[in-house]
Amino acid sequence: MPLKWDLVNETFSDTGTGPYNLGLANGRRRFSEVVTQSDTGSVFVHISHQSAAQYMGALGSFKDTGFHQLTIDTVLYGSNGASAVSFSSGTKDVVNDIPAANQPTWYFDTGRPDFPTVNDLWLDPITASINWNHQDTGGDTQWIETGVGGGGFNTDTVRPGEIFNGKITESNGSNAATFHLKTIGGDDPSGGDPVYIRFPDGTLRTATAALSVTAPSGATLGATNGNPFRVWVAIVDDGGTLRLAVRNCSDSAGVEGFPSIGELDSTAIGTGSDSTKVTYTDSAVTDGGYVIAAFADYDSGLTTAGTWDASPTRIVQFGPGVPRPGTALTFKRDEDGASSSGSNTAPGDDTLPQQSECNVFLSLAYAPTAPQNIIRARGQIHITGAVANNIVAALFQDSTANPLCTSWNFFSGTTYIGLTPLTINWIEVAGGTTSVTWKLAGSVATGTTYFNSRGGAAAYSSSENSFLEIQEIMG
């Protein structure tokens, strides 16, 4: 085996093709300090002329008793190609250097590298073995498993809820979408390149064959035309048979994620699979353990829901730091206990109070992080008038005239008997990521609207709990 050491550098002034008598280069080690044998062609050397365009890489030998004389045995490269260089007069440097072609590249991957070069090394995390790529006599390269570090992958390291060496991909055609379980390398699982899944009850399953689930043309999963939605993908253990599941966990009525007990029931998917908050698999499953694998976002939705003619905007593999459906993501609050007033009035009739008829007392600007997520707006305000009146609270967005929702009451003049804060509670699918200004407004039907006061008289030292909250929830 060719020998190599650190910081070995000498010089010589001999001409021709050698042998060369070496001399010390200041601050460097000599070959005589490290060479312990005179085997032919055992030492990597690189020779370069200090003042002429001459250089050569070779395997050499030190055949004299002091290991000071270098003989060139095999030329590897140089300014004269694969032939020996006849060096001209002048000083030449000699270093112990490994040619780039002889330096291995390490790969750490669960799939064999597609374009290795000779002498590359591949550490396979599945089998915990080191593989060496060499060139055979026919000129082809091939991987040889050395067995170094072997003993197989320790499956005990896969914890409940984890997927090892797996990811979810999507393909679509004929207006149907198919979600696939692939290896990290992008291949179907196999016996030599499996995917390991540890379910919540501790059961370990191994995927060794292609696994997929298809949403056929016509199956909307609860999505609507042109509106953003999210498809969650899970792996289900159906009594030892692995199945992929899809689920749309949210709509404008809220979020229902996967069951917290680690088991689920599913419905067989078909052209009529049009519901949110239902888990679909290729065959119905009862009490099957599951592991969440990924979610696929369709930021612009599908032009026609159920016509799967577009790929997801993104697929996010589930793992540490990725929130589950229903997880609260962000929270903002505006609160005000000080008294104030407004002059706008809203009729106490069966028409929608307009933003121009109301007095905005609280507002918050918020930009959702994903259009598929749920936004919840919650608030309350304390308002009164000076005369018997209808009072109304309304929630608005930006400059939109109509409210999202209202809350109302009636008080009989200055007695304020039975008067309670007006509250609102609203949820919707975000629909986009543009900042929206939320406004909580209030008005009386006649006269001045007083905020956090009794007909203009402050109460309880500005401690009224009037507030507006915005919360984003994982959809």
- Asked whether the predicted pLDDT for residue 189 surpasses 80, the reply is yes
Residue 26: the pLDDT is 74
Backbone phi and psi for residue 355, each to the nearest 5 degrees, phi listed first: -60, -35
**Angle (nearest 5°) at CA 290 between 288 and 292:** 155
Residue 385: the pLDDT is 84
Q: Which residues contact 201 (CB under 8 A, 6 or more apart)?
A: 160, 262, 289
Of 96-100, 228-232, 233-237, 346-350, the one with minimum mean pLDDT is 96-100
Residue 250: the pLDDT is 96
423-449 tens-digit pLDDT: 999 999 999 999 999 999 999 999 999
207-240 tens-digit pLDDT: 999 999 999 999 999 999 999 999 999 999 999 9
CB 330 within 8 A of CB 434: no
Residue 312's closest CA among 428, 237, 221? 221
- Asked whether the predicted pLDDT for residue 116 surpasses 60, the reply is no
pTM above 0.85, yes or no: no
* 329-473 classified as CATH 3.30.565.10: no
Residue 109: the pLDDT is 52
E-only strand ranges, 248-373: 250-251, 254-255, 263-268, 279-281, 285-298, 314-317, 328-336, 340-342, 359-366
- Distance, in Å, from the CA atom of 431 to the CA atom of 227, rounded to the nearest integer, reads 7
Residue 413: the pLDDT is 62
Q: Where are the domains of the chain?
A: 9-101, 104-145, 161-322, 329-473
Task: Name the band, by pLDDT with cuts 50, 70 and 90, for residue 8.
Answer: confident
Residue 148's closest CA among 184, 119, 123? 123
Of 124-138, 161-175, 198-212, the one with minimum mean pLDDT is 124-138
Average pLDDT, the chain: 87
Residue 332: the pLDDT is 96
Which of 19-28, 70-79, 130-139 has the highest mean predicted lDDT (pLDDT)? 70-79
Task: Name the band, by pLDDT with cuts 50, 70 and 90, for residue 149.
Answer: very low
Residue 31: the pLDDT is 82
**Angle (nearest 5°) at CA 264 between 259 and 270:** 120
- Asked whether the predicted pLDDT for residue 398 surpasses 50, the reply is yes
Q: Which residues contact 20 (CB under 8 A, 6 or more apart)?
A: 12, 14, 47, 69, 70, 92, 94
Residue 389: the pLDDT is 82
Of 1-10, 71-80, 308-317, the one with minimum mean pLDDT is 1-10
235-278 tens-digit pLDDT: 999 999 999 999 999 999 999 999 999 999 999 999 999 999 99
- Name the strand (E) or helix (H) holding 238: strand 229-238
